[in-house]
Every structure is written in C-alpha cells, then in structure tokens.
Amino acid sequence: MSLGAAAEHGASRPSSLLSIFALITPSALTISAITFAGVQGSDFSLVTLPNFPLILASNATQQIMVQLGLRSATLTIASGGVDAATARVWL
C-alpha cells in the first residue's frame, strides 16, 4: 500500500473529520472520554483535544478531527447516553 510506504519515509499521516450526533436525545448528551483501542490504537489521536465532559444538546453535532493511523483501530466514545453508554467506530 503506497500510504504505508510514504509514512515510513516521514510523511505526515492524514486526518479525517468525524461528527458526533446527539440525535433525538431527551436531554443533553454528556461525553466523558474519546479513546482509541486495538493493536494499532496508539497510531491514532485527536488533533485537538476537546474539554471533557463534552456536553451536546439534543439534536446537536460535535465535530472532532482524528489523526489517522496506518492500520486499524476502534474509536470509543463514553457518554451518559440513555440507550448506549458507549459507542464504537471502527477506523
């Protein structure tokens, strides 16, 4: 894969903008942490670390910039959500 070869020679890793949605929540959604896991989880990072807890009003959106790794990882969002306290995104 050419991206891996470029990164081995010091090229910067690409970034991607992700959006977190608080869709139809009865109250504000409080996000307490955003973490990366998996064997290559340390290859990923947040470009700008938000202040936690991150509080989203019902139907609000929060964008986060993720520095991508060369392999795969799982982005985990811990929140006080009624239907799911943890959301996972495979990167």
Is the pLDDT score of 82 beyond 70? no
- Fold for domain 2-90? Immunoglobulin-like (2.60.40)
Instruction: Supply the pTM of this predicted model.
Output: 0.70
Does residue 10 contact residue 58 with C-beta atoms inside 8 Å?
no
- ∠ CA 47-79-53, nearest 5°, is 60
Q: How many CB atoms lie within 10 A of CB 87?
A: 15
* Percent with pLDDT over 90 in the chain: 4
Reported as a single tens digit per residue, the pLDDT across 7-48 is 333 345 678 777 776 666 677 888 899 899 998 899 888 888
pLDDT at residue 53, as a whole number? 92
Q: What is the pLDDT of residue 12?
A: 59
